[in-house]
Amino acid sequence: MARNIRVDKILDVKGLSCPGPTVLTMKALEGMKKGRVLQVIANDTSAVIAIPSLCRNTGYELLEFREEEGTLYFFIKS
């Protein structure tokens, strides 16, 4: 069950394949104030590995990940 996370910005990258979702996620995070939350919506299965890796390597915090009917949801704190 998802936590109640306040989202400041939504990035819908459904239909894009790697590295598109990761690159756009990074650009979105770089443009956000520290402490804000980005929700990324994707359907490329490589994002399951790439986006958490991006967070680990850049210091952004992956608050939550979930999958619902083939759609991937990432909640990332900038």
Catalytic site positions? 18
Using CA atoms, how far apart are residues 4 and 39, in angstroms rounded to an integer?
Answer: 12
**Among 19, 7, 1, which residue's Cα sits nearest to residue 66?**
1
Tokens found for residue 73: 């949801």
- Give dist(CA 62, CA 78) in Å, integer: 9
